[in-house]
Every structure is written in structure tokens, then in C-alpha cells.
Structure 1
Amino acid sequence: MEIASVNGRIHAKNLATSILIPVVGGSIVGALANSNTREQYRRLKSPSFAPPGWVFPVVWTGLYKMMGVAKYRAQEKAKIRGNEQAVLAPYEFQLGLNFLWSFLFFKWGLRGTALLEMGALLGAIIWTAYRFYQVDHLAAGLMVPYIVWVAFALGLNYSFWQLNK
């Protein structure tokens, strides 16, 4: 678990909490906002590059785990420097935006609003990675797959919005 070691130590409780909050939170949001989404997703006109529906929970689970480890590393390093809140504020903001998106797109069918919100989400993730980079380069690096996926999802959201007005 070298990736979870900060200054030669692992605080298991902090690491578990950092991972479980996005993973469990994402699962709860999925249960609340994405009920019946498989059928809804199949009925939408899809762009040619849209992945099958089963891909999303698999990718998101991995991304949530990575962002949890990144948050843990950044938080542990920020504690040492005394700037924990400055480092974690953008993380918490982007996580809230992340959870909101599913409600906008699926539950409420506001695909245009979801598109705008996802643009803000991408900006917030980049801001988070920047803040993480200031205290821990590996934490910032762990955010890169998340940035890439959300950039892809932004294009996907745009295409769904255009095809299903």
C-alpha cells in the first residue's frame, strides 16, 4: 500500500473514511437518482461513442476509490502544513457537484442544465487537482483519470443533449 503511505505511515481510519465517503455516497446517489436509468439510457438517442450502461458504475467505482486516496494523501500532507481547509474545500465542492449531476441528468431530465453543471464540475476537479498538487504531487496525479473521464463525459452529455432535445 505504498500509494496510501504518507510520510511512511498509513492512518487506516482516515484512509477508509476518505475512500468510503465517495464510494458509498456515489452508491446512494446512484440508488436515488438513477433508478430505472438503464431503460431510460437505452431509449435515448445515443452518440456513436457512448459506452454501454454497465461501464458507468464500474468506472465510477474505480474513480471514487482513486479520488478517496488522493483526498487522504492531500489531507494528511495539508495537516502537516496547517492548510487543510484550503486544500479540502475544492474537493468537497467538486464532490457535491459530482453527486448533483445524476439528479440533473437522469432524475429530473435537465440535460442542458446537467451539461452546464458538468462544465463547472470539470473546473472544480481541476481546481482540486491544483490544490492537491501544492501539497502532494501523487494526490494530484491520482485525480488525472477523473479529469479525463469527466472531460469525456462532458462531450457525451453534450451529445445526448443535442440528440434528445
Structure 2
Amino acid sequence: MRLSSEGRAPSHSPVPYLVTATAVSAAAVAGSLAVEPDSAWYRRLDKPAFQPPAWAFGAVWTPLYASIAWAGGHALQRAAGRHRRALAAALGTNLVLNAAWNWLFFRCRSPKAGLAGTLVLDLSNVVLIRRTTDVDRTAARALVPYAAWCAFATALNAAIVKRNPD
């Protein structure tokens, strides 16, 4: 077990988990409000062969969001002082960027803006994992599938931009 920056063992309060679960849920809902997979605009986009079926996104995002909430709560519970503040800021920023992608891509109807957003999200994932690693390696490892899926989403978004230049 890693100790907090103040040299004490972490508490076992459920509060950090409740906070991160609420934040992750809010990001998921905020992002989902922009998604329009049945819109004529989206259906007209030329998508690559590796585009997953629509049902796969919910099947993948549900456990990924759960892992983000768990990892965030687990790490925040073990962090203190500047590590806790930096981790909370990294997580909050990441969740805003996560939700923002849907708005950039679907509501702005801009694969290019979506690509820019997902590239920034990928960088944010690196920062989040690094900050989480500073506090708890197990929690950081739980974030790796999320970062990998986001990297896949970046490749998918880039392919859509390439296939739909305007």
C-alpha cells in the first residue's frame, strides 16, 4: 500500500468513489446529449471498415466509465496535498474533454474539430495516468484500457476526416 504524501495510510471512505462516480456519470450524460448516430449527416459520412457497430460503443463505454470512476476514487482516496489537487484537476479536465468530443464531432458536425478534440483527450489521458501513477499504480493500470480505446477512437476519427475532406 502506498502512503499519502503526508505519510499516513489512506482512509477507506466511500466519498472519493461517490464523487468520481458522479463526475464520470455527469460527463457521460453531457456527452451523450450531443450524440446523433441516426442523423442524416452522420449516416452520410464515409466511414472506414474498422468502424465498430453502433451497439459496441455502449458496450465498451459502460465498463470504461466504471473503471475511470473506480480508478479516480481509488487514487484520490490515497492522495493528499498537491498530489490530490493535481490528480483531481487532471481527472476533471479529462472528463470535460471526454464529453466535449461528442459536441465537437456530432453537434458541430465537424470530424476535424472532433479529431482535434480527441488528440487533446489523448494527451490528457497521458497526464491523468501519470498523475494517477504518482499515487497508485493499480489505479493507473485500470485507466490503460480507457486510454487505448481513446487512441482507437482517434484513429477512427482520423480515418473519417481523411475519407470526408469537407
**TM bracket (short chain):** 0.7 to 0.9
Q: 1:82, CA displacement in angstroms?
A: 5.5
2:6 maps to what in 1? none
2:31 maps to what in 1? 29
Aligned counterparts of 2:74 and 2:60: Cα–Cα separation in 1: 21
TM-score (norm 2): 0.85
Q: Residues 38 and 121 of structure 1: is their aligned pair in 2 closer, same or farther, counting only changes over 3 Å?
A: same
Structure number having the greater helix percentage: 1
Q: 1:164, CA displacement in angstroms?
A: 1.8
Residue pair 2:48, 2:159 contacting (<8 A) in 1 also: yes
Aligned counterparts of 1:8 and 1:129: Cα–Cα separation in 2: 19
Aligned counterparts of 1:20 and 1:147: Cα–Cα separation in 2: 20
Q: 1:9, CA displacement in angstroms?
A: 6.0
RMSD: 1.8
Structure 1, gaps ≥5 residues long:
1-6
Aligned counterparts of 1:102 and 1:82: Cα–Cα separation in 2: 31
2:121 maps to what in 1? 121
TM-score (norm 1): 0.86
Aligned counterparts of 2:114 and 2:30: Cα–Cα separation in 1: 19
Q: Secondary structure at the match of 2:52?
A: coil
2:111 maps to what in 1? 111
- Give the number of equivalent residue pairs: 156
2:89 maps to what in 1? 89
State the 4+ residue runs in structure 1 displaced beyond 6 angstroms.
none
Please list the CA deviations of residues 80-116 of structure 1 after superposition, one character each: whole Å capped at 9, or x if unmatched.
Answer: x653102221111111111100001011111111101
Aligned counterparts of 2:44 and 2:116: Cα–Cα separation in 1: 23
Q: Percent identity?
A: 29
Letter in 2 for 1:78: A
Please list the CA deviations of residues 17-54 of structure 1 after superposition, one character each: whole Å capped at 9, or x if unmatched.
Answer: 31232134312420x201x3234543321101000011
Aligned counterparts of 2:44 and 2:63: Cα–Cα separation in 1: 27
Residue pair 1:90, 1:124 contacting (<8 A) in 2 also: yes
